[in-house]
Amino acid sequence: VTRSLPIPLQSCQCLAWKPRPVGLWPCPSKSQHVVAGYSDGTVRVFSVSRTEMELKMHPHTAALTAITYSTDGEMILSGGKDGIVAVSSPRTGMTIHVLADHKGSPITVLQCTRKQYHDFGVEGGELWLATSSDRRVSVWASDWLQDKCELLDWLSFPAPAGPEGLDSLPPSLAAFCPWEHGVLVYMGFGLQKEALFYSLRKKQVLRKISLPAFATSLSLSPAAPFMAMGFSDRLLRLQPCPAGDPQDYAGHDDTVHLCRFAPSGRRLLTASHSAVLVWELTGA
């Protein structure tokens, strides 16, 4: 640990690094920032170099469950346990949008990706998705400077009744596919244990990959057609796409609840209850 940030009394539920500007080398440490979401509904921005909190906002009345920056780092998207998604400006500290489309179900994933203008017949320079525990995924096109946010697609995935209640079910997971333009990957509790590749252009599932169990974490490599998935039985799986033999790895002592590729795609970070592992992906 090279730096420690001041920790408020509330518990931190989620965090994200501020992205660096496009076309530039990695930012010097003095400009690095982390945004964190807390159990009291607050969003806090920290300076890594100064190890201090620079901004505190309160866009939610419920605990935060997901958070991310827009692709240009100019907006913060946060999702709560009550399903509310807020869009806030770290420059002004104001919340500019509140979306209640997922209201009633905790937000499990928020992700943004750049898109070219009019890629899907809607205005905006960015696509983003929100996923909630009830197996719904909404996809949006936005231009925050022009105050535009338009729903592009709405996905609902069927599932059998969960006898033990929603909290005990595997999480709903979704991510834009870096190597296949206009496609997102979804996995979650459903009729089958599988990963679904959905085309935003064709409005249909293109293909499916069978899984050994319901996944608990997901990350897609930005550098090669590989998915990393974690499972509750301590298994980590690397899956080549669109087809190929998966590679399974042990090493965790509990559910693998986090998978995260590095921007280079050469390293993978995974976490369980009491272990954080970093993997070198020489063959990926």
Instruction: Write phi, then psi, for 169 (nearest 5 degrees).
Output: -80, 155
Q: Domains of the chain, with CATH numbers?
A: 157-283 (2.130.10.10)
Integer CA distances (angstroms), 74 to 91, 143, 144, in order? 8, 11, 9
pLDDT at 119: 73
Specify the pLDDT at position 5. Answer: 57
- In this predicted structure, the answer to whether residue 24 has a pLDDT above a threshold of 60 is no
**What confidence score (pLDDT) does residue 248 get?**
94
pLDDT in tens, 160-219: 876 554 457 899 999 999 999 899 999 999 999 999 999 999 999 999 999 999 999 999
How far apart, in whole angstroms, are the C-alpha atoms of residue 56 and residue 241?
A: 41
Residue 162: predicted pLDDT: 63
* Exposure string over 6-42, b if 16+ CB within 10 A, otherwise e: eeeebeebbbbebbeeeeeeeeeeeebbebbbbbbbb
Give residue 134's pLDDT: 93
**Distance (Å, rounded) from C-alpha 194 to C-alpha 264?**
27
Which one is predicted more confidently, 242 or 186?
186
**C-alpha span between 115 and 96 (Å, rounded):** 22
Mean pLDDT, residues 79-90: 97
Tens digit of each residue's pLDDT (9 = 90 or more) over 109-155: 999 998 765 677 777 789 999 999 999 999 999 988 888 899 999 99
Highest mean pLDDT among 39-53, 54-68, 231-245, 266-280: 54-68
187, 208 Cβ separation under 8 angstroms: no
- CA–CA separation, 268 and 271 (whole Å): 10
Number of neighbouring beta carbons within 10 Å of residue 79: 28
Output the pLDDT for position 185: 97
